[in-house]
Amino acid sequence: LESDNAAPPRQAWRRRLNSHANILKEFSVTFMEALKM
C-alpha cells in the first residue's frame, strides 16, 4: 500500500519537471536562434 500511495505523487512531480524542462528547452532553442540572427 505504501508503494502504491507513493507512486502517484512521484509521477506528478516527474510530469511537472518534464513540462518545465520542455519549456526551458524551447526557450533556449529560440534564444539561441535569436542570438544567431
Mapped onto helix, strand or coil, the DSSP state of residue 36 is helix
pLDDT tens for each residue of the chain, 37 residues long:
555 655 678 888 899 999 999 999 999 999 999 999 7
Q: Nearest Cα to 16, choosing from 24, 28, 5?
A: 24
Return the domain boundaries, the chain: 1-37
Predicted pLDDT of residue 11: 87
